[in-house]
Amino acid sequence: MSMHKLTVGDGYTYLTRHVAAGDAGLSGTDSLTAYYEQTGNPAGRWLGRGLGALGASGLPVGSVVTETAMAQVFRDGCDPIGRTPLGKPYRQIRPGDGRHAVAGYDLTFTAPKSVSVVWGLADESTRGKLYDAHRAALSSAMRFVEHSVIRTRVGAAGCRQVRTRGMIAAAFDHWDSRAGDPNLHTHVVIANKVQGPDGAWRSVDGRTMHAATVTVSQLYDALLADEVTRRMGATWSSRDRGERRNPAYELDGVGEDLLTEFSTRSEQIDCAEHRWVQQFAERRGRAPSRVETTRARQHLTRETRPPKVVRALRDLLADWANRARTLTGVEPVDLAARALTGTYGRPLRAADVGPEVRAVIVAQVIDDVSTRRSVWSTWNLGAAALRSSMTLRLASPEDRHALTNELVTLAGAACLRIDDPESARHRVGEESFTSLELLQAERTLLDAAETDIPIGIHPLAERIADRQLAELSDDQRDAAKAALLSTRSLGVLVGPAGSGKTTTLAALADAWRQIRGDVVGLAPSASAAATLSEALGARCETAAKWIYESVGDGAAQR
């Protein structure tokens, strides 16, 4: 699941203009077969408890979304029935000041590629079951969003977060990617209009929406795997997607050849990302972090979007069948059937997961969050708990939620909470944690930075440093010289983006070799180590490899 803001204006029209032209006679709850001949996607459907406050008697959940109603809510901020303003009008932002008024949040729930491929190749009955599984997982995930994520703020400067009376949302099912590959996904657009407990209309607390995004994404993935397995029988496994992206859980019976064939859009984005990584390394002298890559990929996804070509579902299915048949020489329905022949025992209730298994999962959760960051939130624990329990198939959404909540509670109890639980500005899910191990590691580093070591400095060190560092700017030279002549166990050089850290490090490495000895570079990933090695002209390794071979099991085996 991905999320982006829907700004005030006509951004919502992307969803309404691709709805099938014949939708006037169709309902948002019609079966999949009703859309086979229609050129376009199904009509949107209204979701959320907030619908009950609209008009005189409310707007029914599941009723068809019209373009007029979308404009009333997401352009004008009005009740689509009574056409009265829902609280204050959207703020008008002057063009060019870099800000945008938020009309809503577009949560896009996308089935794993293997599920979309099987859905696109299967017989009508199987396709319908997979579609129903997606809709069920989506519905459960959105109930979680409405109950546990959607909040608003009250008080002076919005100092206090409170629950709401529910959301107003519109859901639109789409069949394919912009490249025409099978890509079963649903846009759920949540209006930035909610009622607080007092009945007043206010905006959604967007910070909490963003903080919960990864947790909601992992929840949908887990719920969908549960639904597919319960309805059809299937087995799942993790597929590696490279060092900068999390692994994806896919159906075991779908080979990489099919995934690649129907991932044209992903290949386009991957190529753009590869070019961006190269340009980033050339500019910064290092490989981008996972967070930087994720943000860049989101931007590149938008930048490389081809125009949307709307086709009838029947035509899409025929095209996908021909491509699969040409690639494999096997009938598409047989390929789909093979993917769903996994054997699986009775799905688990939350209570079936015993204390020993829970302890193992909690240890994985804490390792997950502490590897990714030094301080983490309850949302981070929730996402990690869902990732770590993904191999378990649960009997119902209620069991999935119960197990996840219990794992988060156990993991939180094993961490150190470092925020103020009594703060009036507390936001749901944003409790802050760390671990004793990380605090001890921090103390070790601080001690090293304050401890002198008995080493001799070359008598001509300062003169050599002045000569070797002469090409640097004054601040770069001062920083490099301080590191070069320091007698502390640990030194840190910090600089903002574009300040010439790589240039400074390269000059420092040359001077260090003359004055103090060998240089060994360490980096968080293999690609980052390769980039650093090229910049410094020195041997560079990943930190994990160096630790393993220096003080870890690798050293013990020498």
pLDDT tens-digit readout, 225-262: 999 999 998 999 999 877 667 788 999 999 999 999 99
Residue 401 belongs to what domain range?
Answer: 349-450
Query: To 10 degrees, the CA torsion angle through 94, 97, 99, 101?
Result: 0
CA gap 353, 304 in Å, rounded: 45
Point out the domain boundary residue: 419, 450, 481: 450
192 part of a folded domain = yes
In tens, the pLDDT along 95-144 reads: 666 667 899 999 999 999 999 999 999 999 999 999 999 999 999 999 99
Point out the domain boundary residue: 419, 435, 450: 450
Q: Which two tokens stand for residue 75?
A: 């352009």
CATH label of the domain that carries residue 525: 3.40.50.300
Report the number of distinct structural domains present in the chain.
Answer: 3
CA gap 191, 209 in Å, rounded: 12
Q: Are strands 539-542 and 520-523 parallel, antiparallel or unpaired?
A: parallel
Does residue 125 sit in the same domain as residue 218? yes
Does residue 492 sit in the same domain as residue 408? no
Counting other chains too, the contacts that 524-531 makes at CB distance below 8 Å and 24 or more residues apart are: 524/289, 525/243, 525/244, 525/287, 526/243, 527/243, 527/277, 527/287, 528/286, 528/287, 530/287, 531/281, 531/285, 531/286, 531/287
Confidence (pLDDT) at 23 = 43
Does residue 492 sit in the same domain as residue 377? no
Point out the domain boundary residue: 320, 344, 368: 344
Could you tell me the pTM of the whole model?
0.87
Does residue 410 sit in the same domain as residue 340? no
277 part of a folded domain = no
Does residue 338 sit in the same domain as residue 354? no
Average pLDDT of the residues of the chain: 89
End-to-end Cα separation, the chain, in angstroms: 46
Mean pLDDT of 452-456: 81
pLDDT band, very low/low/confident/very high, at 285 (cuts 50, 70, 90): low
61 part of a folded domain = yes
Mean pLDDT of 414-433: 92
In tens, the pLDDT along 193-235 reads: 999 999 999 999 999 999 999 999 999 999 999 999 999 989 9
Does residue 58 sit in the same domain as residue 206? yes
CATH label of the domain that carries residue 404: 1.10.10
pLDDT band, very low/low/confident/very high, at 22 (cuts 50, 70, 90): very low
- State percent of the chain over pLDDT 70: 92
From the list 100, 79, 140, the residue with the least C-alpha distance to 11 is 100
Does residue 473 sit in the same domain as residue 437? no
Does residue 490 sit in the same domain as residue 532? yes
Does residue 365 sit in the same domain as residue 486? no
271 part of a folded domain = no
Task: Please tell me which residue, 38 or 318, carries the higher pLDDT value.
Answer: 318
* Cβ pair 312, 37 in contact under 8 A: yes
From the list 157, 57, 155, 167, the residue with the least C-alpha distance to 107 is 167
Does residue 458 sit in the same domain as residue 446? no
Dihedral (CA of 543, 549, 551, 552) sign? positive
* Cβ pair 376, 408 in contact under 8 A: no
524 part of a folded domain = yes
Does residue 441 sit in the same domain as residue 466? no
In tens, the pLDDT along 38-96 reads: 667 888 999 999 999 998 788 999 999 999 999 999 999 999 998 999 999 887 766 66
329 part of a folded domain = yes
Does residue 387 sit in the same domain as residue 251? no
Task: Please tell me which residue, 18 or 434, carries the higher pLDDT value.
Answer: 434
Q: Where are the beta strands (DSSP E) in 332-468?
A: 376-377, 416-417, 432-434
483 part of a folded domain = yes
502 part of a folded domain = yes
Helix (H, G, I), strand (E, B) or coil at 342: coil
